[in-house]
Amino acid sequence: MMYINKQQGFTLVEIAIVLVIIGLLLGGVLKGQEMIKSAKVKSQMQQLDGISAAFNTYQDKYGALPGDDNNASANTGVAGLTAGNANGVYSSAEGDRGVWEHLEAANLLAGYAAAANGRFLNKYGQQTFFRSNYAGLNGSIVCISVPNEVAREIDRKVDDGDGASGAMRSNNQAAYPANNGNSWVCTAA
Query: For 135-178, what is each residue's pLDDT tens digit?
Result: 788 888 888 888 888 888 888 888 887 878 888 887 765 555 55
The model's pTM is 0.77
Q: Is the pLDDT of residue 96 over 80?
A: no
List alpha helices for the chain, DSSP H.
12-62, 72-76, 97-105, 148-158
Q: Is the pLDDT of residue 19 over 90?
A: yes
pLDDT of residue 94: 54
Contact 75, 69 (CB under 8 A): yes
- Alpha-carbon gap, residue 188 to 132, rounded angstroms: 9
Contact 76, 105 (CB under 8 A): yes
* Closest to 153 measured CA to CA, from 22, 34, 71: 34
